[in-house]
Amino acid sequence: MIQLENVTKTYPKASRPSLDNVSVGIEKGEFVFFIGPSGSGKSTIIKLLLHEVAPTRGKVVVNAKDVTTLRSWKVPHFRRSIGCVFQDFRLLPNRTAYENVAFALEVIGKTKAVARRVVPEVLELVGLGGKEHRYPHELSGGEQQRVAVARAFVNRPLILLADEPTGNLDPDTSIEIMRLLDRINRTGTTVVMVTHDSNIVNQMRRRVIEIESGRIVRDQARGVYG
Amino acid sequence: MRVKYVLNEVLVGLWRNVTMTVAMIITMSVSLTMLGASVLMYMQVDQMKDFYYDKIEVSIFLAENADEGQKAAINQAIDSSPLVEKKTHETKEQAFERFKLLWKDSPDFVNAINAESLPESYRVQLKDPEKYGEFAKQIEGLPGIRQIIDQRTLLDKVFNIFNSIQLMSLVVAAVMAFAALLLVGNTIQVAAYSKRREVAVMKLVGASNWFIQAPFVLEAVVAGLIGAILGFVALFIGKVVLLDNKLQALTTILTPIPDGNVWLMLPLLAGVGALVSAVTAWVTLRFYLKV
């Protein structure tokens, strides 16, 4: 599903690479944590998988597509198979929960009729039934992140990338979001989550890949934060 | 629904920054007016050239003492030149008749002249008036010629004036167009900034590049089209007020500008305005959105 082969990424003007000769494979349906201190290079992995940045050396394969040689005009279509959730939610403040999710469908060419059928369904799934018409500022942080998850999942992506999704949430809310991601993972969606929330990693007992200074220092099938 | 979405975005975009939109439209319309005026002037000069060049002649005045042999040689040289379209011969008597007609209001002057004092001449129309130099070279060496006069040199002085006016309006058009481009670029940047969150989400969920860019590009195109229409109106009013009324005296020299030519400016200005705006917006987005 996801394949990194000897990937090195050096940002311009950086003294050392963010990722240094990293190789890792992730199977379909896996739930993987990338952990490590700030600046260790774990967010760079998300950016590589989204084709936001290109690797300096090495090969990145996602959904059997070689991202490194992907033509730039094909990137939008490629991204439709990937859902993405961030620490800062990235919701549109002037749109309701429903409209935020529907927006993601409409801008990729889905009709309003499709949105009317699919959006309430996915909002129900993330536990926001009855709050469809609230604006982001009328929702709690956890609820806002649920809207973001709904938006990422509404298109039924093969992969869900989560970049510190619990970074702005309190521990209880964080656990609820993790339950949600777990539920999405059980539908067969591959989940890749970058975090430094040790609590969550320890509770979930899933595959843990630890990165330090751009190198993989640990890859454990049912790991803890350590 | 996507069309409706895009159109709505365009209108909202134009309203959001209305002072900039107005500035953009005004510079665009001034630039396009100057461009239109310049093109009209170009067409006008072309048309006048056609009109006058059909009538201009090269006059070859013969010397007083030219003998029959020399005259025959000159006649022969003109007839055999491939550049000549038509040749007329004017004897001293014919020249005198014409002279009398020309100066019929001053009989004293006419009386002082007799046919003998006027030169005999050939009036030659060239197939291509521009080839005067070539033609002159062919015959100027022949004995018995006093002077060769090309009427075109007189006309060219007039056309030169037109050409420089035309060039000036082209320069003004170019300078204004440059200002308009900067304004379009700036407007698009402001628009892209105010919609940065939407753009970020669209990129994230995989909206196609054209879908992200279309509202911005169309915003510029709509402004360009409005500018073109205003420019056209200014041009039309300018034509009616200046040429048809204030400067009507000039129209005895100028051939009239056909309304058809003025109408032709509408698609031209609209096309140039829309295209230039679209390209500028698109290039700006390349740098600014990095989609």
Same domain (yes/no): A184, A216 = yes
Number of residues assigned to chain A: 226
Q: Predicted confidence band at B250 (pLDDT cuts at 50, 70, 90)? A: low
Sort out which chain A residues have CB atoms less than 8 A from B197's CB and list them: 90, 92-93
Same domain (yes/no): A92, A69 = no
Q: What span, in angstroms and rounded, lies between the C-alpha atoms of A108 and B217? A: 19
Reply yes or no on whether the pLDDT at B70 is more than 80.
yes
B5: closest CA of chain A, how far (Å)? 9
Q: What average pLDDT does the segment B148-165 reach?
A: 80
- The identity of residue B250, as a single letter, is L
The last residue of a domain, from among A105, A130, A156: A156
Q: What is the pLDDT of residues B189-223, one digit of tens each?
A: 888 888 899 999 999 999 998 889 988 999 899 99
Reply yes or no on whether the pLDDT at B177 is more than 90.
no
Q: What is the pLDDT of residues B255-271, one digit of tens each?
A: 777 888 888 899 999 99
User: Which pLDDT does position B65 carry in this prediction?
Assistant: 78
User: Which pLDDT does position B1 carry in this prediction?
Assistant: 53
Q: Where are the domains of chain B?
A: 2-52+156-288, 66-143
The last residue of a domain, from among A156, A180, A208: A156
* B2·A155 Cβ contact <8 A: no
User: Which pLDDT does position B244 carry in this prediction?
Assistant: 73
CATH of the domain at A173: 3.40.50.300
Same domain (yes/no): A174, A191 = yes
**CATH no., domain B66-143:** 3.30.70.3040
Same domain (yes/no): A139, A91 = yes
Same domain (yes/no): A52, A2 = yes
In this structure, the dihedral spanned by the alpha carbons of residues A66, A68, A71 and A76, taken in order and rounded to 10 degrees, is 80
Residue A109, Ramachandran bin (φ over 0: left; ψ between -120 and 50: alpha; else beta) = left
**Burial (0-12, 13-18, 19+ Cβ within 10 Å), B287:** exposed
Percent of all residues in chain B with a pLDDT value above 70, rounded to a whole number: 95
Smallest CA-to-CA distance from A195 within A204, A185, A186, A183 is with A204
Lowest mean pLDDT among B5-14, B32-41, B181-190, B251-260: B251-260
Q: What average pLDDT does the segment A110-128 reach?
A: 94
Sort out which chain B residues have CB atoms less than 8 A from A107's CB and list them: 201-202, 205, 207, 211-212
Which of A107, A118, A137 to probe the B interface (max B CBs under 10 A)? Answer: A107
Q: Which whole-number Å values give the CA distances from A187 to A46, A123, A150, A177, in the listed order?
A: 21, 16, 14, 16
User: Which pLDDT does position B158 carry in this prediction?
Assistant: 78
The last residue of a domain, from among A156, A191, A215: A156
B290 compared with A30, residue with greater pLDDT? A30
In this structure, the dihedral spanned by the alpha carbons of residues A89, A95, A96 and A98, taken in order and rounded to 10 degrees, is -90
Which of B3, B197, B205 to probe the A interface (max A CBs under 10 A)? Answer: B205
* A77·B203 Cβ contact <8 A: no
Same domain (yes/no): A150, A106 = yes
Q: For chain A, what is the domain count?
A: 2
CA angle centred on B13, ends B8 and B16, rounded to 5°: 125
Q: What span, in angstroms and rounded, lies between the C-alpha atoms of A148 and A165? A: 10
**Burial (0-12, 13-18, 19+ Cβ within 10 Å), A131:** middle
Same domain (yes/no): A103, A70 = no
Same domain (yes/no): A5, A106 = no
Q: Tokens 């469809």 sit at which residue? A: A132
* A79·B205 Cβ contact <8 A: yes
User: Which pLDDT does position B126 carry in this prediction?
Assistant: 80
B191: closest CA of chain A, how far (Å)? 16
Q: What span, in angstroms and rounded, lies between the C-alpha atoms of B203 and B208? A: 8
User: Which pLDDT does position B290 carry in this prediction?
Assistant: 67
Same domain (yes/no): A164, A113 = no
Sort out which chain B residues have CB atoms less than 8 A from A109's CB and list them: 2, 208, 211
User: Which pLDDT does position B251 carry in this prediction?
Assistant: 62
Sort out which chain B residues have CB atoms less than 8 A from A75's CB and list them: 206
Question: Which of A216-220, B65-69, B108-112, B117-121 has the highest mean predicted lDDT (pLDDT)?
Answer: A216-220
Reply yes or no on whether the pLDDT at A131 is more than 80.
yes
Neighbours of B245 (CB within 10 A): 8
Lowest mean pLDDT among A6-15, A34-43, B143-152, B213-222: B143-152
Same domain (yes/no): A100, A52 = no
Range of the domain at A97: 86-156
User: Which pLDDT does position B90 carry in this prediction?
Assistant: 83
In this structure, the dihedral spanned by the alpha carbons of residues A94, A97, A103 and A106, taken in order and rounded to 10 degrees, is -140
| Contact of A177 with A146, CB cutoff 8 Å | yes
Q: Which whole-number Å values give the CA distances from A193 to A82, A128, A164, B152, in the listed order?
A: 13, 22, 7, 84
Reply yes or no on whether the pLDDT at A189 is more than 60.
yes
Same domain (yes/no): A31, A126 = no
Q: What average pLDDT does the segment B57-79 reach?
A: 82
Q: What span, in angstroms and rounded, lies between the C-alpha atoms of B151 and A104? A: 74
| Contact of B204 with A157, CB cutoff 8 Å | no
Nearest to B206 among A80, A90, A93 (CB): A80
The first and second tokens of residue A99, run together, are 């409209």
Q: What span, in angstroms and rounded, lies between the C-alpha atoms of B265 and B239? A: 12
Q: Predicted confidence band at A61 (pLDDT cuts at 50, 70, 90)? A: very high
User: Which pLDDT does position B253 carry in this prediction?
Assistant: 64
